[in-house]
Amino acid sequence: MKRLSLNKELIEERLIFIEQSLGSLERFSSQSLKDFQKDFDNFRIAYYDLYTALEAVLDIGSHILSRIPGNKPKSYKDIPQLLAKNKILPEKFTEEKLVQMAGYRNRMTHFYHRIESGEIYEIIKLHLEDFTEFTKFIKNILKNPKKIGFPDE
């Protein structure tokens, strides 16, 4: 079966959202953990921005998979695996980064009461570049969807 065209507008909207969330999160990257923890609003803002960036990443992945017949993920953790299987994103990136993103999104959704400011702070300090790397992969796909088997419209 033939792959359907990507909805570039939908993907670009999600990419903008990721970039805006990263911009907001970066304000905390120069703070010490102690300063970050001084104001509970820092945690709430960072939590929201991180969660919504994760949602946008997975929304993009889900949309791309919806355009490939027979690739309906059963869970959020299936999204990275199917993206790698279909050679949409590099396997190494999906295994090392995107699977963790999906898992953390699930943790934030279902175990929100156990999330601590220190772990959010650690993600800000060590893993924001994972989002940047994801957006670069997706922007390249949008520039040349034929390269990975999607019609160019």
pLDDT means per 10 residues, the chain with 153 residues, are 91 98 97 97 98 98 95 92 96 96 96 96 97 98 94 80
Distance CA 144, CA 2 (A): 17
Output b/e per residue, 134-147; b: 16+ Cβ within 10 A. Answer: bbebbeebeeebee
Q: Nearest to residue 51, comparing CAs of 120, 118, 116?
A: 120
pLDDT of residue 1: 67
- Residue 141, SS3 per DSSP: helix
Tokens of 151: 């019609």
Topology of domain 8-144, CATH: Four Helix Bundle (Hemerythrin (Met), subunit A) (1.20.120)
- pTM, 2 dp: 0.95
Tokens of 95: 């295994």
CA torsion sign for 145, 127, 24, 115 is: positive
Task: Kindly give, in sequence order, each residue whose CB lies less than 8 Å from that of residue 2, ignoring residues fewer than 6 positions away.
Answer: 69, 151
Tokens of 129: 């570049």
Q: Nearest to residue 141, comparing CAs of 77, 78, 73, 68?
A: 68
Neighbours of 103 (CB within 10 A): 14
